[in-house]
Copies of this chain bind each other. A is one copy, B any other.
């Protein structure tokens, strides 16, 4: 079959797995197995933790870590993105489930599965409409402010759980707070404290210690990523040994054993309608986050992400989550970083991790019941803490004021107004400031560089100019957004040079003139003619001239003219 390679490469466009399997090497499998196991070790506690963070039973996080990454592995263009439950989507889901309308309809599990399905459909719809580019209008500063704000909300939601309290319902009554704080549970607090200390030890301290002892890099990586699992195991053993679950310490509780059942039993029209706008926001954020992380790792290895294919892969992954009883998924920051730094070469690593998760839910589910929630809170806290980047705002502000402002406003918006409102505010702010910027185009009065046919800005070069002739180069397309600025500029220059008899607009950088701009130029020409001056055009590009020739603008300019080159205009009018 001589055509096979061609067929395969076309197939690889739709199923990227075909692409990387074709070039899969022996060394790859070793790396991928290692990375897959390490990532799976992180995914068990994180899956349970993020489900609880979202206000859902633990299995929704575990199930979301099995089929969805498999779907992504087949369809996604990133070799190392790890798809599953993520912290920011989890806090958004928690927000949705606790709104009065949604909680009134009961059954949060059903609501979560509907959100997964809707996120999937939304992403596929965006892919079909080729709207992947829309997310370019979420600027990095807005995304950074959003991430910091959401991470702070997550931290705020975990603090009470670390000491065995529910979220406080006190307003401004100080008495209430002292009563509230008296409910702190010592055993829970002790588990949290020990977990935090252990997790922090498993960061830099253990890495540098191991490196000093001369351990291999893969051993260092493997050990340093085992912190969360070790914390869960030790904390669970403590709960069992001292029978803490019977006392004040909150535990995960029963997790159904076995592989999730597949089905569409969650469908409910009323809920579907109610949840749709929330799902749209979650889908948008999940997509933006995933692509951002995928791009970072792909660039480090000189690989390429195709945004529209990512929409398809993430969409199918979310549908897979819905039918297999999982919460909505995205590409997660910490899990992808673990996978990448553990040396994953391809999505084979995630297939292996998913296999381990599948085995875990089949064989180890009974073991999950006694995991103390406070240990999971400690894991969440350490995972999201690095997402809070307040300093980054100053860094951005220092580079670009408008961007720094957008980042700060988005962060505060998320904290004060809410997650969706905060990011919407940030997006509006960037678009408004972008419009403001594009409405002030660069304009230069130019003159001729002596003994040449080149024309340059009179402010930056010593050039020849002519008394009755004003040569103006407009460095952007002329549209409704900037025509008023351009008019004001020309008026001011004309007042400053009352002897001007001919104005030549140099259109080298003008790729378009819209209707508003054309009408304003017509009026401007009329007012020039009324005072005995002429308006001329030079260096207009083909498409611009074609457009102008459809109107009688060139006719109206007379005795003003359209010149091919600036030089021609100067020869004729100078």
Contact A551 B434 (CB under 8 A): no
Q: Name, among A136, A303, A431, the residue most crowded by chain B CB atoms within 10 Å (CB to CB).
A: A136
What's the Cα separation between A403 and B480 when bound, in Å?
10
**B residues near A476, Cβ cutoff 8 Å:** 476
| Residue in contact with A515 in the complex, picked from B138, B139, B435, CB distance below 8 Å | B139
| Residue in contact with A519 in the complex, picked from B140, B402, B439, B523, CB distance below 8 Å | B140
Contact B400 A547 (CB under 8 A): yes
User: A187 within 8 Å of B by Cβ?
Assistant: no
Contact B439 A299 (CB under 8 A): no
- Give min CB distance, A209 to chain B, whole Å: 30
**B residues near A480, Cβ cutoff 8 Å:** 136-140, 430, 434
Contact A295 B523 (CB under 8 A): yes
User: A391 within 8 Å of B by Cβ?
Assistant: no
Closest to A548 in B: B399
User: A300 within 8 Å of B by Cβ?
Assistant: yes
User: A9 within 8 Å of B by Cβ?
Assistant: no
State which of A178-186, A249-257, A270-278, A524-532 sits at the interface with chain B: A524-532
Contact A530 B301 (CB under 8 A): yes
**B residues near A491, Cβ cutoff 8 Å:** 304
User: A12 within 8 Å of B by Cβ?
Assistant: no
**A509-B512 contact given A137-B481, A530-B301, CB 8 Å threshold:** no
Query: Quick one: CB contact mask for A542-574 with B, threshold 8 Å, 1 for yes?
Result: 000001001100000000000000000000000
**B residues near A434, Cβ cutoff 8 Å:** 435, 438, 479-481
What's the Cα separation between A551 and B430 when bound, in Å?
22
**Would you list which residues of chain A between 379 and 415 have a CB under 8 Å from chain B?**
396, 398-400, 402-403
What's the Cα separation between A29 and B24 when bound, in Å?
92
What's the Cα separation between A518 and B295 when bound, in Å?
15
What's the Cα separation between A21 and B247 when bound, in Å?
92
Contact A399 B296 (CB under 8 A): no
Contact B399 A475 (CB under 8 A): no
Contact A527 B484 (CB under 8 A): no
**Would you list which residues of chain A between 309 and 365 have a CB under 8 Å from chain B?**
none
- Give min CB distance, A483 to chain B, whole Å: 7
| Residue in contact with A481 in the complex, picked from B136, B530, B547, CB distance below 8 Å | B136
**A299-B527 contact given A140-B516, A140-B519, A400-B514, CB 8 Å threshold:** yes
**B residues near A498, Cβ cutoff 8 Å:** none
Contact B302 A139 (CB under 8 A): no
**A302-B524 contact given A480-B430, A515-B403, CB 8 Å threshold:** no
**B residues near A454, Cβ cutoff 8 Å:** 454
What's the Cα separation between A479 and B302 when bound, in Å?
23
User: A159 within 8 Å of B by Cβ?
Assistant: no
What's the Cα separation between A283 and B481 when bound, in Å?
21
Q: Given A140-B516, A299-B530, 20 other A-B contacts at CB below 8 A? A: A136-B439, A137-B480, A139-B480, A139-B514, A140-B519, A141-B515, A295-B523, A298-B527, A301-B530, A302-B530, A399-B515, A400-B514, A402-B514, A403-B514, A403-B516, A430-B480, A431-B431, A434-B435, A438-B438, A475-B509
Residues of A within 8 A of B (CB): 133, 136-141, 295-296, 298-304, 396, 398-400, 402-403, 430-431, 434-435, 437-439, 442, 454, 475-477, 479-481, 483-484, 491, 509, 511-512, 514-516, 518-520, 523-524, 526-527, 530-531, 547, 550-551
25 contacts between A and B (CB under 8 A): A133-B484, A136-B439, A136-B483, A136-B484, A137-B435, A137-B480, A137-B481, A139-B480, A299-B527, A300-B526, A302-B527, A302-B530, A303-B527, A304-B491, A398-B550, A399-B515, A400-B515, A400-B547, A431-B431, A434-B435, A434-B480, A437-B477, A437-B479, A442-B509, A454-B454
